[in-house]
Amino acid sequence: MDFIQIAKKAKQASLEIAHLDAEVKNTALNTIANELEIYKNEIFEANNKDLEDAKKLVEAGKLGKSTFNRLKLDDNKMRDMIQGVRDIANLEDPVGKVLLKRELDKELILTKVSCPIGVLGIIFEARPDVISQISSLAIKSSNAVILKGGKESKNTNTKIMEIINKALNKVHDFPQNVVQQVFSHEDIAKMLKCDEYINLIIPRGGNKLVQFIKENTKIPVLGHASGICHIFVDKNADIDIASRVIVDAKTQYPSACNAVETLLIHSDFSQKEELLASLQIEEIKLVSNPESWDMEYGDKILSYKFVHSIDEAIDHINKFGSGHTDCIITSDKENAELFMDKVDSAGVYWNVSTRFADGFRYGFGAEVGISTNKTHARGPVGLEGLTIYKYKLVGNGDVVDDYAKGIKSFHHQDI
């Protein structure tokens, strides 16, 4: 089917789902979770086909190891994927929330109400669990979505989408074409030009993908170009906390965008050599003179640098960081608050791993991605980030001319 026809159907679906009852949406989500559980072995079979093909590409040097790692669906990922759908069903409906109610004048009432964005265009690489996450968030927030996954996960993506739409077809009153998928590279180019029907593009992938999308569309883009996350070890840090947090942030999932890439250590920290040794024991490769301080390794490699003050650490992060997630390890509350106030990132942490920057861990059920934008949504983007708002004004034949002539006056009382 031509992409424009897919986009038109998505637009129509977005109008239909915009006012769908929360109970119907939750039924749809729980049905999806049930179907994913029933057919998970078929998903694993499809994923194994993708992994076999991807392994050949890795051996030929045409696919990175970090991409291969993100492609794999194991029992833990599958469990989290299914639970994430159920968790979203249990969350409060984000649509129709009253954000402001104000009486402009007697019986002239202004209400600000949350509403869906409309049609989302999602372009992502590797990770097939993205489909269930984003589809579920789109359904709960009453948006339609068009997904374009990477060719390396085509078999898995196709199977998961097949199961999702099979589930949605079982739900009475649920609109058609809310969740659609496209496959070709040409579809990306068409999606980026489709500002008549698509309201927001969300890329989930590497720096090159995100930059390409931002440079080639007039549609608003929500996302982050890279994950250059830092941890600063202050001079009075606890070494056990520092080692534990850094190891987790680097090794728990090295290819994730919230894995730490640069370690800054205060030169007056008395146990710095001991700290570095503890990281090497965990098979972390330490680099003291990297080619660039804005390198995203996606592997068990960690740049490090000694700094002379907390201000130097903050300046380094604000210069070389990507505005994603950065952490300070310290027992000094004043320094921690200074760091969290002055570091210009979506997530600023104190004594905890950067790997917590995740919608599931934040209790959002899942996320459509992590945004380093400073408009609309920032950090892990869940349901709230997929809604906007509209103003409803109710009166009784009121006209502006009465106020312009001084016959009436506003009193602007919140109610």
| Residue 205 predicted with pLDDT over 80 | no
The predicted structure's pLDDT at residue 405: 97
Nearest residue to 351 via CA among 327, 335, 333, 332: 327
Structural domain boundaries in the chain: 3-222+368-391, 229-356
Q: How many CB atoms lie under 10 A from the CB of residue 24?
A: 16
Q: pTM here? A: 0.86
Distance CA 160, CA 270 (A): 52
Query: Where does 222-362 show beta strands of DSSP type E?
Result: 229-233, 260-266, 285-287, 301-307, 325-329, 347-350
pLDDT score of 247: 98
**What is the pLDDT confidence band of residue 33, given thresholds at 50, 70 and 90?**
very high
Please report, rounded to a whole number, the percentage of residues in the chain having pLDDT higher than 70: 100
Lowest mean pLDDT among 216-220, 277-281, 292-296, 374-378: 374-378
Q: Considering only CA atoms, which of 382, 384, 366, 355 is closest in space to residue 83? A: 366
- Tell me how far apart the alpha carbons of residues 287 and 304 are, in angstroms, rounded to a whole number: 6
Q: Using one digit for the tens of pLDDT, what is the confidence trace for 37-48?
A: 999 999 999 999
Query: Is it the case that residue 71 has pLDDT exceeding 80?
Result: yes
Average the pLDDT over 173-195 and give the result: 95
Q: What is the pLDDT of residue 64?
A: 81
Q: What is the CATH number of domain 3-222+368-391?
A: 3.40.605.10
Distance CA 386, CA 408 (A): 39
Instruction: Kindly report, residue by residue over 163-180, the tens digit of the pLDDT.
Output: 999 999 999 999 999 999
Give 105-161 pLDDT, tens digit per residue. 999 999 999 999 999 999 988 788 889 999 999 999 999 999 999 889 999 999 999
Q: Three-class SS of residue 412?
A: coil
Which of these, 258, 142, 143, 256, lies nearest to 201 by C-alpha position?
143
Residue 56 has pLDDT above 80, yes or no: yes
The whole-number pLDDT of residue 364 equals 86
Q: What is the mean pLDDT of residues 173-188?
A: 95
The CATH architecture that domain 229-356 belongs to is 3-Layer(aba) Sandwich (3.40)
What was the pLDDT predicted at 366?
80
Using pLDDT thresholds of 50, 70 and 90, give the confidence band for residue 187. very high
Plot region of 177 (φ>0 → left; ψ -120 to 50 → alpha; else → beta)? left
Q: What is the mean pLDDT of the segment spanning 363-378?
A: 86
